[in-house]
Structure 1
Amino acid sequence: MTRICIVTPSHVSFQPRALREADALHDAGYDVRVVSVRTDASLDAFDAELLRSRAWRLRAVDLTSETATQARRWTASARLRTAQRITAAGLGSRRMAAHAAVKGAGELAALVCAEPADLFIAHTQATLEAAFAGARRFDAAMAFDCEDLLGDGATREAAAMRTLEAAHVGSCVYVSVPSRAMGARLAARYPLADRLVVLENVPEIVPTSLVPPRARPRSGALRVHWFGQTAGLDRGLDDAARAIGLMRERGELHIVGLATDAVQLALREMAGAGASRVLFHPRISPDALIETVARYDAGIACERPDHPSYGVTLTNKIFGYLAAGLAVAATDTPGQRELLDETPDAGVIYPFGNAGALAQHLDRWARDRDALLRAQDAAWHAARRQYSWDVVRRRFLERIAAVTTGHVRVAAR
């Protein structure tokens, strides 16, 4: 049986691309193990819930405050900061860059090297060095899932990601990306040729019990939804909150994710008279995500067009809205225009920073429920014809079969 090790830098319950790949590979008959880093004790329950219904193995570097000693956590944080300063100054090796990219880099590499495998898949630039170490240890192949262009930017973290990306992309048997726009950006830097594969961020689990949009009860207010791991400012939610306050019709903004008291207060203040209609909800299990999203009418995909990564990607957020049958209001980024050019009836594009334009679109849906239903229907059908996990999974498994048929090893360095 072919053995595959997936390496991810964070809790697997909130790494949807790594999670769905592990599930797909296990279901296809591969021997799957996932290696990750745990840093947030509040997410452990989500990991535990997932594992109760999974048969693949998970091993993790534990740096949570619940179990890791204070000295161990302090050491990991200090090592991360020191490595980031050295890497940002243009000094140090790629191993130093690995320590600058993820806490517990050395322990992560050690865990990976304890997992015999035929293929190691690095999720994000942060795990490339660990995956390379495992591939070299077991004379195996390695691949790279480039979820985001984390090396683009002027931060210390970005400097480390650039170093790792440049060092290891050439050794990968394939590189996967979530959008054609991101693939084009990456292909302009490296000679990827036929090693590049687009694997969109479509949801893995879409309950068969979901009711199509036209069979759902109509609500009074237009219920607008946003979900993410963390809700913050200057990331587009500002426009969404202001739009709720500017709407002539009644609308509600429902935000699912971790939001501090300060963020909640700021967003409600931005909504002005609509402050009471900006509502916050706790994070939920990934397995329950689409069923929860389907309770709403429209979804906001408010990525910044000037962000080096989010501007060219297609997030799991926008595909979640499609799968749940929500009308989509998306900012005008190259990545999101790529999708809405192909499914124009599923939603609208609005300029980032223009809350008034967003409010006009939302008002139209609140006022004209037939227009809302047409957009919801288009989203529902696009998710089941073009953007389903069945389609993307087939593409993924075909690539895995192609690279594991023959024995490919990484070049020794």
Structure 2
Amino acid sequence: MARILILIGGHCCTAPRPQKEADTLAAAGHKVTVAGVWFDPDLVRRDQDLLQDRAWTFCPVLDFRPGRRSRLGVRLQANLARRLFGRFGLATPALLGYGARRMLQFAQTHRADLTIVHSEAGLWVGQQLLRQGYAVGVDFEDWFSHDLLPAARQQRPLQWLGELEADLLRHCGYRLTTSQAMAEAIARHYDVTPPTVVYNVFPQVKLEQPQVRTYSNLRLHWFSQTIGPGRGLELLFEALPHLTMLVEVHLRGTCSSANQTWLAHQIPLGWANHVHIHPTVPNDELPIRIAENDIGLALEQVDPPSRDLTVTNKLFQYLQAGLAVIATDTAGQREVFQQAPAIGHLVAVGDGQALATAIEDLVCNPARLQAAKAAARHAAQSRFSWEVEEKTLLAAAEMALPPAPSDVNQPAPALIPNPNHITPLPTRRIA
């Protein structure tokens, strides 16, 4: 049994991939701890509910919920980090996320046999641990240095992130990512062997079959943690006026007051009463809520590159819930449709008319819609389920873990630096 530490950048309940990783490794007999950050009281309650029946533990390395004395200091530190970078090009760990130094201190104290990082701040922590001789793993849930919209790129230390990514890719034994397209792109960019692909799929669940609805009340569904610009909703609102019938549109996610104003301006004339906003729900309730709909929309964009290459949670959760899927033709989503073409339609990125045509094709052909739903359920059961993917994750972890106690006298293999040159950063950094 090994001691495994998983570092995340926020609440446990908003991190389904590390949850599944922890469940799988704990079920295999390892002692697993997940460490993250607490800042939202409602999400803390969800964390506590989620952890009641888990075989692993969660530790908040930083807790700055409202009312905590640490809250002001944490925010001041983050603001100072942004100012230093903006004015002087000085990149510090606090620029990468809340609690970076706390994570490092926790990991050093915990002394796990394998520490797995999942966030931008985790990249820096992982690099420090590698230099101190720890076994480190990295999960590229996103391609961190290629996961920002153009407006945000000037405010982030992209070159530093790239250097951190390169270091971990070359020296970590456990390296995961979310699609074959992502793995191949990362491998080409950094001249390394491709990371192991573990799809963002979910355990199989038994759901009641939803009622068969007529086209007048068919339900389109889109969800994300956040409802706002840059997430594909612009394409949906561009498509709605092209439909020859009204359908229900159900959006689920957190929508700030600023984004509510943005949303109100996006919804086409005549559609306001047909667009419904729902709050986020706990993870165990989400499949039930998704299954109340008919067609799932995965409208990812090709910029930033990470969005093009990955396959997000939503697509696989649509399959799990038995929804037909309409997805934009990104590299990652194309990869899924190549393996399960009958689940719905791929449409060109940015083509509202094509999206409207795909919606009408399913809405106006009940038999075709039901066949796509059946294909989605079959794909989730036969290929895209955690029961399939967890075997790959376990094999990767076993390869990366230190020798068993019987082999402790064997010398550990030395890390051999990659001969490829990494261009030094023009920014100054504080380690």
- Say whether the fold is shared (TM-score over 0.5): yes
Unaligned 5+ segments in structure 1 are none
Give the secondary-structure state (helix, strand or coil) at the position aligned to 2:21. helix
Residue aligning to 2:81: 80
> In the alignment, is the contact (CA less than 8 A) between 1:298 and 1:329 conserved in 2?
yes
2: CA distance between counterparts of 1:30 and 1:283?
31
Q: How is 1:96-245 mapped onto 2 (pairs within 5 angstroms)?
A: 96=92, 98-134=93-129, 139-152=133-146, 154-159=153-158, 160-193=160-193, 196-204=195-203, 206-208=204-206, 210-212=207-209, 216-218=211-213, 220-245=216-241
> In the alignment, is the contact (CA less than 8 A) between 2:77 and 2:94 conserved in 1?
no
- Amino acid aligned to 2:368: A
- Amino acid aligned to 2:227: A
Question: Cα deviation per residue 1:194-248 (whole Å; 9 max; x = unaligned)?
Answer: x6200001024x432x1356xx443541201111110112321122134334321
Aligned: 1:21 with 2:52: no
2: CA distance between counterparts of 1:107 and 1:369?
54
- Amino acid aligned to 2:353: G
Give the secondary-structure state (helix, strand or coil) at the position aligned to 1:271. coil
2: CA distance between counterparts of 1:83 and 1:23?
40
Residue aligning to 2:327: 330
> In the alignment, is the contact (CA less than 8 A) between 1:250 and 1:366 conserved in 2?
no
Question: Cα deviation per residue 1:266-302 (whole Å; 9 max; x = unaligned)?
Answer: 4344322111111000011112211211110001101
Identity %: 31
Q: CA deviation at 1:411?
A: 5.0
TM-score, normalised via structure 1 length: 0.90
CA gap of 1:253–1:16, structure 2 versus 1, over 3 A, is same
Give the secondary-structure state (helix, strand or coil) at the position aligned to 2:239. helix
CA gap of 1:5–1:42, structure 2 versus 1, over 3 A, is same
CA gap of 1:103–1:317, structure 2 versus 1, over 3 A, is same
> Which runs of structure 1 show a deviation greater than 6 angstroms over 4 or more consecutive aligned residues?
none
1: CA distance between counterparts of 2:71 and 2:303?
38
Give the secondary-structure state (helix, strand or coil) at the position aligned to 2:189. coil
> In the alignment, is the contact (CA less than 8 A) between 1:268 and 1:278 conserved in 2?
no
Aligned: 1:341 with 2:338: yes
> In the alignment, is the contact (CA less than 8 A) between 1:293 and 1:321 conserved in 2?
yes
Give the secondary-structure state (helix, strand or coil) at the position aligned to 1:336. helix
Q: CA deviation at 1:166?
A: 2.6
- Amino acid aligned to 1:267: L
Residue aligning to 2:393: 396
> In the alignment, is the contact (CA less than 8 A) between 2:64 and 2:71 conserved in 1?
no
2: CA distance between counterparts of 1:42 and 1:294?
24
Residue aligning to 1:69: 70
Q: CA deviation at 1:68?
A: 4.1
1: CA distance between counterparts of 2:260 and 2:58?
35
Question: Cα deviation per residue 1:310-342 (whole Å; 9 max; x = unaligned)?
Answer: 011100111111111111111111111111122
Q: CA deviation at 1:65?
A: 2.3
Residue aligning to 1:371: 368
Aligned: 1:255 with 2:251: yes
CA gap of 1:66–1:254, structure 2 versus 1, over 3 A, is farther
2: CA distance between counterparts of 1:125 and 1:410?
26
1: CA distance between counterparts of 2:400 and 2:386?
21
CA gap of 1:262–1:330, structure 2 versus 1, over 3 A, is same
Give the secondary-structure state (helix, strand or coil) at the position aligned to 2:349. coil
Aligned: 1:314 with 2:315: no
- Amino acid aligned to 1:146: F
Q: CA deviation at 1:358?
A: 1.2
- Amino acid aligned to 2:142: D
Say how many residue pairs are matched: 401
Give the secondary-structure state (helix, strand or coil) at the position aligned to 1:4. strand
Residue aligning to 2:383: 386
Give the secondary-structure state (helix, strand or coil) at the position aligned to 1:32. strand
Unaligned 5+ segments in structure 2 are 405-411, 418-431
CA gap of 1:344–1:83, structure 2 versus 1, over 3 A, is farther
CA gap of 1:405–1:412, structure 2 versus 1, over 3 A, is closer
Q: CA deviation at 1:409?
A: 7.4
Question: Does 343-352 or 160-169 show the bigger shift?
Answer: 160-169
1: CA distance between counterparts of 2:414 and 2:73?
33
RMSD over aligned Cα atoms: 2.4
- Amino acid aligned to 1:77: A
